[in-house]
Amino acid sequence: EADIYQTPRYLVIGTGKKITLECSQTMGHDKMYWYQQDPGMELHLIHYSYGVNSTEKGDLSSESTVSRIRTEHFPLTLESARPSHTSQYLCASSEYQGTGELFFGEGSRLTVL
Amino acid sequence: AQSVAQPEDQVNVAEGNPLTVKCTYSVSGNPYLFWYVQYPNRGLQFLLKYITGDNLVKGSYGFEAEFNKSQTSFHLKKPSALVSDSALYFCAVLLTDSWGKFQFGAGTQVVVTP
């Protein structure tokens, strides 16, 4: 089992609310990622980080923001949620060196009403 | 542009029959290829990867994949499918011109019937 955790697993909120999706890993991985995935569909990279204090936007434009203050923690924040943000958000990590595979969390399914 | 393609949206197979999920790639340089599986309402789980060496790679849960450079393919296979293999399967390539970004295929839904 991978040691990467996401909370909450499921979240239903109203439009305009601020939300933070938490992601933590205990493997000491430098690289971390956030993917957005609609049900049964492909993954889109929205944010990534290659270490503390580094964050980059991914291939899919997103209104969310991320921070990386500690190696193990990579939270994603939406300042004002909208129904278009309804999706599954997957956090992942990998080793900095070499060709290591991604380790994924269980995902956070967000529904904005 | 580097990419990976999964030509089948869905693969249907009877339990006990061989299972193949197709993946083709387009990369510059040596490809680093991966297969992941996703069960409903779960994250992705790593199955296997090809970095170098033997073209036949063995992975978790009895899966294997064959790297074919001339056909630029990396098909996932299992000799005898189980109902529990029903899931969404993703092929991915580690982009060689980046520090560690992966390009995922669109995914193939595998349905194994009893």
Dihedral (CA of B21, B27, B33, B37) sign: negative
Kindly determine whether residue B100 and residue A45, on different chains, have CB atoms separated by under 8 Å. no
Contacts of B15 (CB under 8 A, 6+ apart): B81, B82, B83, B112, B113, B114
Burial class (CB in 10 A: 0-12, 13-18, 19+), A106: middle
- All domains of chain B, ordered by start, with CATH? 3-113 (2.60.40.10)
The reply to whether CATH 2.60.40.10 applies to domain A4-112 is yes
Burial class (CB in 10 A: 0-12, 13-18, 19+), A93: buried
> For residue B57, is it left (φ>0), alpha (ψ between -120 and 50) or beta?
beta
SS3 of B8-43: the string is CCEEEEECCCCEEECCEEECCCCCCEEEEEECCCCC
Interface contact A80, partner B, CB < 8 A: no
What DSSP designation does A109 have?
E
Kindly determine whether residue B106 and residue A31, on different chains, have CB atoms separated by under 8 Å. no
Closest A-chain CA to B107: A42
Q: pLDDT by residue for chain A (113 residues), tens digit each?
A: 559 999 999 999 999 999 999 999 999 999 999 999 987 688 999 999 999 999 999 888 888 999 999 999 999 999 999 999 999 999 999 986 667 889 999 999 999 99
Q: Which of B32, B102, B103, B110 to mutate: most A Cβ within 10 Å? A: B102
